[in-house]
Structure 1
């Protein structure tokens, strides 16, 4: 197996795609992680069981709808999120800006979660300092991501079942001798929250991931596979895992998700937490590399191999993680995260309703290439994006519904209106330089 560009700037050909089970395992691994479990624990802290149930239901349904519609577009076109947005409302330079924002956000979280990874390893092997472990763990993940989707599925094969086993063991350990029925009538453990606030927490925990699903779903063979795996992954990963977190919070009367797992399963729990961090962090780095590769191409016309981009940003994120500087930028990264949900609203509105550039995608898809031309910039899209992101942030602050959903719906509605009145126009159209790398890789790929 050799490092792969993974069709960073081209369509994924049919022969390089995978059966839905392989892609579903990756998506399930992204969702059924420590963040989802922690979300459940937080819901148990602030809501009754049935309040948490409805919060998880509402949040999960929102995520499933976003993941399905955006994911189907990615599957049909075989394009990464940042490349797809060139023809779904943003244009050449808008997609570059989008790719940079996604990349900075994800590489930031890569570094922060790498710090969590390093702390876990330090607790197992304290003779090495945390900063040393940060360097080791960051570089290990970087090397794995160099090999692309094919290698990352093997990480999922190990990490996903391991995390589920530890969660199951925690349940058995904590529920033994406990009246489980009484847990269903338990009330909040601490300061209460509303169901709407809980649903916001659930939807917000994975909205960024749902928005960039084309990065993963472009490897699916057909749209029905996207529907199956999204519903299955979010239902079992987000919904069931969240409810388990709620019940465990009631059982141990604790608010710290990491403490709940490590105290119930000890060293094995730490090892599995490390594996869970790896499973989400490889995708942080992978999607970041796709966004940077697209940005370099659109801004300079230079087609850089994704492998080299991964190496550079992986090393950069690792070093920043080792020196501990990224923890100071969590608020900044949270602000960047607010800009992601409106992207999904615009993509869905353009691809399924307005269809300004859909004919070009449909025609070129039949030939397995990119459209001959692309819009340079669509000014109204940038205005809608900015306004919707601000509205999402404001409504979140004022506790008016689900902030991420508000921004997504507003972006989609405004774009649809703009399309109906003829405001969705590009400044100009320019030729697209064909990427030869994808064709060369297709000759080496073997679908599974």
Structure 2
């Protein structure tokens, strides 16, 4: 215990080396609203959004697909704004915010899930992009598996440099995504006609329910919205977070997923790469995708490294592993998964995440706005774990029964359980 103040002081003095994983972001490091928005927008703009939109759009009537996309992303925007505002006020990362509800050690469970989720999305996007390289350039000599490893190594270059690296790449990626989206909309209208697109119904009818489709859209980005505090803790004003996070979600998620739905309806293809190639956009998609992917996956690497810091805190490794090394380890794990073809698991994984992750923002929101008795000084808050389990079960039951929107049910049930249990049992179970 005698060395504890020295350890904290050492980590604080080298905060930039650890990306302020163990402390509040100081005022001197806070960024303006434009920088926060660009980083958030750059993060939400990803090739996986086109892929998810195309996959869902090929399985549903156009109007149903658009409605499920809109509802799912409005829910995600609410999560991003709420958690972002809490992060602005506390200056803490997602992983350390979860300590306030779960407790210091129990929050490691959540951090493990965050790290695994990040590895999954990095791998899925690198696998998709590597296949795009192979289909766009027939002369490409390197196998897809090895190409995926090289792509992830590129993305890691900005992630290991922290927020400064994320911001630089985002200023390049956002314009590229806008260009690609506009080009897809124009190509769809010219080659297929907007009337034919909006009237699209799959042969044999829809094969995906509204609940499953909405869960897919939410599952595809609930992880991303949950880790928005990693960026929003650098904001100077709450308004920068509220406006920036909402607009970033609707632009980067809804806009790009809608584009994917339209492309699927226009080409009758369920593969985005093949669909855009059919529209004559293969080369444009490739060059724009370079930065669209980079701005997202470096954020995922960054967020996973912060989650790992939370896991190591309290162990012998706490405060001894620099951000750069952890970012490299996350990238290496994703490269291994990508080499096995991560894309084939896309819909099952996104639906699972739509059940497992939404309870967490429910816990953070419930603690910050209603309970207001932080458990960060306790190892485990069993009331939070029970509430998490209840929300997960409720979300899974809703998904299986095709009832309403599983993610919303999971989050709301978690908030209710956590607030009620805390009011009834907090004083007797969590005496400090």
TM-score by length of 2: 0.86
Q: Tell me the CA shift for residue 267 of structure 1.
A: 2.1
CA distance in 1, matches of 2:239, 2:72: 22
Are 2:409 and 1:409 equivalent residues in the alignment? Answer: no
2:426 counterpart SS class: coil
2:402 counterpart SS class: coil
Distance 1:425 1:121, change over 3 A: farther
Q: Tell me the CA shift for residue 181 of structure 1.
A: 4.1
CA distance in 2, matches of 1:334, 1:144: 30
Contact map agreement 1:377 1:428 (CA 8 A) in 2? no
CA distance in 1, matches of 2:421, 2:380: 15
Structure 1 gap ranges (5+)? 359-372, 430-448
Aligned counterpart in structure 1 of residue 166 of structure 2, from 152, 155, 159: 152
CA distance in 2, matches of 1:180, 1:329: 31
Contact map agreement 2:196 2:266 (CA 8 A) in 1? no
Q: Tell me the CA shift for residue 242 of structure 1.
A: 3.1
Distance 1:139 1:52, change over 3 A: closer
Aligned counterpart in structure 1 of residue 372 of structure 2, from 355, 362, 372: 355
Which residue in 2 is equivalent to 1:162?
Answer: 176
Deviations along 1:160-204, whole A, 9 cap, x unmatched?
Answer: 221321222232233126543454344455641444443333333
Contact map agreement 1:292 1:309 (CA 8 A) in 2? yes
Contact map agreement 1:93 1:299 (CA 8 A) in 2? no
CA distance in 1, matches of 2:355, 2:132: 29
Which residue in 2 is equivalent to 1:231?
Answer: 246
1:298 counterpart SS class: coil
Contact map agreement 1:105 1:337 (CA 8 A) in 2? no
CA distance in 1, matches of 2:36, 2:417: 33
Deviations along 1:113-164, whole A, 9 cap, x unmatched?
Answer: 3233333344436222333323322222223211011111222222222132
Distance 1:250 1:173, change over 3 A: same
1:376 counterpart SS class: coil
Which residue in 2 is equivalent to 1:107?
Answer: 119
CA distance in 2, matches of 1:313, 1:213: 18
Q: Tell me the CA shift for residue 43 of structure 1.
A: 4.5
CA distance in 1, matches of 2:298, 2:427: 36
Distance 1:45 1:140, change over 3 A: closer
The 5 A counterparts of 1:113-192 are: 113-123=125-135, 124=137, 126-176=140-190, 178-188=192-202, 191-192=205-206
2:377 counterpart SS class: strand
Contact map agreement 1:189 1:250 (CA 8 A) in 2? no
TM-score by length of 1: 0.83
CA distance in 1, matches of 2:425, 2:128: 49
CA distance in 2, matches of 1:104, 1:271: 28
Distance 1:129 1:61, change over 3 A: closer
CA distance in 1, matches of 2:48, 2:205: 20
1:422 counterpart SS class: helix
Are 2:301 and 1:285 equivalent residues in the alignment? Answer: yes
Contact map agreement 1:117 1:278 (CA 8 A) in 2? no
CA distance in 1, matches of 2:72, 2:33: 24
Contact map agreement 1:167 1:261 (CA 8 A) in 2? no
Which residue in 1 is equivalent to 2:34?
Answer: 21
Out of 89-98 and 333-342, give the one that drifted further. 333-342
1:128 counterpart SS class: coil
CA distance in 2, matches of 1:196, 1:25: 31
Contact map agreement 1:45 1:189 (CA 8 A) in 2? no
Distance 1:427 1:61, change over 3 A: same
- State the number of aligned residues: 412
Query: How much is the aligned-residue C-alpha RMSD, in angstroms?
Result: 2.8
Which residue in 2 is equivalent to 1:302?
Answer: 318
Which residue in 1 is equivalent to 2:391?
Answer: 388
Deviations along 1:382-413, whole A, 9 cap, x unmatched?
Answer: 12112221322232122122122111111111
Distance 1:46 1:317, change over 3 A: closer
The 5 A counterparts of 1:362-401 are: 374-401=377-404
